[in-house]
């Protein structure tokens, strides 16, 4: 398995975990407060790639597609509401389409395009797990939704409850997670930003 990861997966992961040169216009910008702005897609990501686990929504962050949609829709992060699951379609509304090394949807674009030009160059994700699958918001059928498998950067269909097969519960090798995204560039309100500033100042005085 290490050989497969090195050949197929590591080059894309390194874009997030290895410092990149800053000689071109940034496509992914750290806006502080755990928010990352994708310039080309005009969307804001949480820097925490498993925020559901961080806040205790589930022990490991895993959710079915209906639960993921409901959790993201009701999420308030630093006072910011209006979150959604990422979109599997191309910017022109085409698709979704299945494929490996796919940059068509918003998750693929984050890793294969925006992640190559970051600001700052040493920008890193938090709580990212390489053996994971992230839900898209797009429904594929009555029983399936679109998702993005990190190993192979594969966009495809996944059962809305991927652990249920008839009357049987089946384990998966990859964690199935939800990654909130927001349309446009968003930041916390002024009160939240000032509160964080004071916390930072007082921490330096201790």
pLDDT in tens, 65-90: 999 999 999 999 999 999 999 999 99
Read off the pTM: 0.81
Q: In this structure, what are the phi and psi dihedrals at residue 183, rounded to the nearest 5 degrees?
A: -65, 140
pLDDT tens digits, residue range 27-51? 999 999 999 999 999 999 999 999 9
Q: Which two tokens stand for residue 11?
A: 């080059």
Q: Are 120 and 45 in contact (CB under 8 A)?
A: no
| pLDDT at residue 188, as a whole number | 79
**Structural tokens at position 101:** 């090394």
Question: How confident is the model at residue 164, as a pLDDT?
Answer: 85
168 φ, ψ (degrees, to nearest 5): -105, 145
pLDDT of residue 200: 47
Residue 111 to residue 128: CA distance in whole angstroms:
12
Indicate the domain borders of the chain.
2-205
Three-state DSSP class for residue 59: coil
Low-confidence residues of the chain: pLDDT under 70: 1-24, 166-169, 189-206
In sequence order, what are the residues at sequence separation of 6 or more whose Cβ sits closer than 8 angstroms to the Cβ of residue 39? Answer: 25, 26, 27, 28, 29, 114
């Amino acid at each position: 398995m290490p050989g497969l990861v090195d050949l197929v997966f590591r080059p894309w992961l390194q874009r997030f975990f290895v410092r990149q040169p800053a000689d071109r216009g940034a496509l992914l910008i750290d806006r502080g407060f755990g928010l990352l702005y994708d310039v080309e897609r005009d969307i804001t990501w949480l820097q925490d790639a498993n925020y559901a686990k961080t806040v205790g929504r589930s022990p490991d962050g895993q959710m079915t597609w209906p639960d993921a949609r409901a959790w993201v829709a009701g999420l308030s992060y630093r006072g910011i509401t209006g979150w959604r699951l990422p979109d599997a379609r191309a910017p022109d509304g085409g698709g979704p389409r299945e494929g490996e090394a796919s940059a068509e949807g918003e998750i693929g674009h984050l890793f294969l395009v925006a992640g190559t030009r970051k600001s700052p160059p040493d920008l890193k994700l938090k709580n990212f797990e390489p053996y994971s699958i992230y839900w898209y918001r797009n429904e594929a059928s009555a029983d399936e939704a679109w998702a993005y498998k990190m190993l192979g950067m594969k966009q495809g269909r996944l059962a809305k409850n991927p652990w249920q097969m008839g009357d049987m519960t089946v384990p998966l090798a990859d964690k199935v997670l939800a990654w909130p995204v927001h349309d446009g560039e968003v930041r916390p309100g002024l009160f939240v930003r000032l509160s964080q500033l004071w916390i930072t100042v007082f921490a330096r005085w201790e």
